Each structure stands twice: as C-alpha cells, then as structure tokens.
Amino acid sequence: MTREYLKKASLTAKSNATETHEIVKSILDDIEAGGDAKALEYAAKFDQYEGSILLSPEEIEAACALVPEKLKADIRFSHDNVRRFAELQKSTVSDVETEITPGFVTGQKAIPVEAAGCYVPGGRYSHIASAIMTVTTAKVAGCKHITACSPPRPGVGINPAIVYAAHICGADKIMAMGGVQGVAAMTFGLFGLPKANILVGPGNQFVAEAKRILFGRVGIDMIAGPTDSLILADRTADAHIVATDLVSQAEHGYNSPVWLVTDDRALAEDVMARVPVLIADLPDVNRENASAAWRDYAEVIVCSDRAEMAACSDEYAPEHLTVQAEDLDWWLENLTCYGSLFLGEETTVSYGDKATGTNHVLPTSRAASYTGGLSVHKYMKIVTWQRATREGSKAVAEATARISRLEGMEGHARAADVRLEKYFPNETFDLTANG
C-alpha cells in the first residue's frame, strides 16, 4: 500500500506556538492570591469591560429580549436535540450491584459533580452553540450548579444570543468574564460562586493552558488544541461539497488543520483547485483564517485503497471525521479513532457543530486515539461500593490477609485479621504469606 502527499503541511498544530505557560501561571497565581479584586483587574485589562460580572435576572431578561425570534427558535431546536441525545447517553449508565461471592455485595453508582464551569468563547466568533453543548449536558447529568462564562465585548457585554442560550439551557449563573480570569474565577469560586468541580468548553490557547495547569485540583473535559477535520472521499464524492466542507472547518483559525484522504487522484486535484476559490469568497476574517490554515496546515493524501485510507485516518485520529464514499457501513465498522463521525454527504461537521444533538466539544491533536468528546459522562463520577455479611467476608478476609503479607503490607493484613478474630473466635486460619 502507498501513500502520496499532493499537499504536505509545512506546520503542525504545535508549530510556532506562543509560550503561554508562564503568562497563564502568573495570572492564575495573582488571581488566587488577590481574589475578586485581582480578577476584576485582569477583566479590565484583557476584556476592557467594567460592567456587571454576574448577570442579574433583569440583565438576562433584557439580553434575551434582544435576540430575534427566528434565532431563538433555532437555539431551542438545537437545545432540544442536544438535550435528547444527552438523555440517551445518560440512560447507558446505571446503578448496578452484584453478589460477588455469597454474602458479599459490590456495586456501582453514578453521581454527578456538584458544580460545573462552562466556558463559552466569544472573541473571534460568538459560539452560541458552545453554550448549548456545555450547559445542556451538565444540566442533564444532574449538576446542582452550572456557571456559564463568556468574554464580554467592551461597552457591550456578552452576546445576547449566548446569554439566551445559556439561560434556556439551564445555567444558574452567567458570568461576563473571559480568558484566564474567567477560568480562574470559576475554579477558585470567586464572586460568590461555588468552586467548580469540572471545567468544560473550548477556548483559545490561554484558556486551554489555564485548564491544563489547573487540572488535578479541578476536572476538565480535555486539553484541547486547534480544531481539526479530516475527510475520507472516494470517486463517488462531489468535489465541490468536499472542498466546501474543508473550507468550512479551516475558517475556525489560522492553525486549524484540515486533511483530505482519498484513493482518487483526479478528485484530489479537483478539490485542491476549488478550495482557494471558495476561500477567496469568504468574509475578511474568515478568509484570513481559512487561507492561512489551508496554506500552512492542510494536507491532501492519495492512498492505494480504502483500507489504506482508513489506516491513515486512524493514524491522524481527527477531531471531526467525514466519510463521503461508498459502503458507509464498512467505514463505520472499520474506523476507530475520531472525535465524531459524519457518514455520507447528507451530513456535515457543521451540522454536528450546531444542531444535530451530538456534542461539538471534541478531542483534538490526535487525542481521539484515547478519548471521546464531551458527554453527560464527563460530569459524572462512576463510584463503587460494597457491603457484606460476616460470613460473606470470611473468604475475602483470608485472601486479603495472605496477599497483603506477600506484598509486605502488614497493616493491611491486620485489618483483615481483626475481623476474622472478632467474627469467628473459635476458628483457626492460616494467614501466612507462604505455605
């Protein structure tokens, strides 16, 4: 099998990355030490905003009133789809128990975390859908407190549509604060908020680095890099649609990789000719992002057959994976590494990003090789429990004592010993490690 690059990326998602760690660490340390006042200083500096930090019910109502009814209907449609899919996901996790040995019962229990912090980007683009994706899943999971945090625009505040989406999806508090300071405020429990148990949602490199540094003292959905997308296409694919889909994802940012993998060289060349034309027709900011992403990060790869195409895709482990090829069931069966899969021309990453119900917070930078995206499960702790009768504990105590002594953990062994002595005073047990 062969693999030919008609276009090879000159950069990767990690190339020329700004060294943000020290900057972010310094800001986090400052805010943790200085509390609300220091967070407000950074908000004034970076957000250039001095309005309300936590929106009042009246401010939420006023923002919602600014959202056109048609957009409200679209947000409600998306919210309903995301909610129903999240409820389906939740139904796959249940509390269970089993009698592991006679008289000894073990079990599993799913418990939602108390407080979730949902970051909603609002800089280059206003990510209305991110409010829907993150807040809705937290609500369905059963989190008792949900904070939605989004960067305000100077003199304006949070985009009203983001406020509306966060509100109808179930946010308990909506915070007008962006970047590291917003993440810090949710983590440290500033402005009267409960300390977040988990932080979720996409963001720029500073937000991503803040989540990475804070991981451990707070849970996170994932450490995310620039969004990426791969399309698998054969001779049956429509070159115009393939090119349009590639461009639609390249507009995310200057460093957002898009990849085309095909076994049809003519299709590859046709798509490569169409992409620059489609990019040139975008609005200014979108055009600049897509142009840089296509120039520096995009790849077009010709493989010998579909098996090699699938192997190539799994190696890249894309965040978004689209298949525009024959025999969709074969691809569904054989592809194993992706954040979310879009089968057939009739669906597209944009659908998943906005309205189909599957979550758009997904693993990037090949993290799909070991994890999936945001779901209700991310907000839930799967914990275990056990209980036993005295007779049921006998065999377990004997095995525990002997294994512990073999390991050299005498204290563990004695915790078993004392129970055997108490529960079965007239019996003798061989609790030595050898013999």
State the catalytic residues: 319-320
- Give 3-state DSSP helix, strand, coil % of the chain, rounded to 5: 50, 20, 35
47 in a known ligand binding site:
no
Phi-psi region of 25 (alpha: psi -120 to 50; beta: other; left: phi over 0): alpha
Residue 170 CB neighbour total at 10 angstroms:
17
Q: Taking a C-beta distance cutoff of 8 angstroms, is the pair 223, 215 a contact?
A: yes
Q: How is residue 328 written in tokens?
A: 């969709």
Residues of 19-56 as b/e, b for ≥16 C-beta within 10 angstroms? ebeeebeebbebbeeebeebbbebbeebbebeeebbbe
- 181 annotated as ligand-binding: yes
Chain position carrying tokens 């008792």: 144
Q: Does residue 21 have a known ligand-binding role?
A: no
Binding residue per annotation — 289? no
What is the rounded distance in angstroms from the CA atom of residue 196 to the CA atom of residue 168?
Answer: 21
Q: What does the longest C-alpha to C-alpha distance in the chain come to? A: 88
Nearest to 164 by CA among 54, 47, 69, 51: 69
Q: How far apart are the first and last CA of the chain?
A: 57
Q: Check whether 228 is labelled as a binding-site residue.
A: no
Q: At which residue do the structure tokens 């996409």 appear? A: 202
CA distance 72 to 81: 14
Residue reference for tokens 């957000």:
47
42 is in an annotated binding site: no
Annotated binding residue at 204? yes
Report the number of secondary-structure helices (H) and strands (E) in the chain.
15, 14
Write down how long the chain is.
Answer: 435
**Residue 85 near residue 357 (C-beta atoms within 8 A):** yes
Cα separation, 248 vs 274, in Å, equals 13
Q: Pick the closest to residue 312 from 327, 302, 326, 322 (CA basis).
A: 302
Annotated binding site for NAD(+): 119, 181, 204
Annotated binding site for Zn(2+): 249, 252, 353, 412
Annotated binding site: 119, 181, 204, 249, 252, 353, 412
